[in-house]
Amino acid sequence: GQGYNLYTPLQLANFVATIANGGKRMKPYLVDKIVSPNGEILKEFAPQELNKLSASPEVLAEVRKGMRAVAEPGGTAYSIFREFPSSVKVAAKTGTAQTGLPGDDKNKDYHGLFVAFAPYENPQVAFAGIVEYGYHGGSSACLVAKAVFEEYFGLKKEPIPDELPDSME
């Protein structure tokens, strides 16, 4: 956060998901089920709506359109996502937070922030990331989001090798 706004990446991702899904704030959870060694489902967890935003559907649609523009030509994240297929249009917001650290080290002046969801038309995943001393979110944290989306949507062009090449050992 900056100033008195202190949010965790999970809180930011949850709010981005709320915007993406039309205003329903869901309870975050990390496990969908607990399975015994013999395959028996011991406990299942289901999505749970906490509340709805008071913003109108029209306002939320405008926010989503604005976020989509960030990853379109002229947007601060366009260069990162321009090669994504049309089936995985990204909606995002870049950010830069001042660190407030005194000194002359310009590399420590800003943290890079990036939030996003994809695909734009039918959201499946939300992302929030902060790169400490990452300067601008459009040049640091968005690269983390790109890697996450590439993995999630199977967009990697080259598989990650299981072993290092001989020249790197």
Task: Sketch out the chain's domains with CATH numbers.
Answer: 9-26+47-156 (3.40.710.10)
**Phi and psi at residue 116, in whole multiples of 5°?**
-165, 165
Enclosing H/E stretch for 64: helix 57-70
Query: What does the block give as tokens for 69?
Result: 């523009």
Query: What does the block give as tokens for 54?
Result: 């008071």
Q: To which residue do tokens 């306002």 refer?
A: 59
Taking the C-alpha atoms of residue 56 and residue 73, their distance in angstroms, rounded to an integer, is 28
Instruction: Report the pLDDT value the prediction gives residue 168, as an integer from 0 to 100.
Output: 41
Contacts (Cβ under 8 Å, ≥6 apart) of 28: 10, 13, 14
Would the pTM count as exceeding 0.85? no
Kindly report which listed range (28-42, 48-62, 98-112, 115-129) carries the lowest average pLDDT score: 98-112
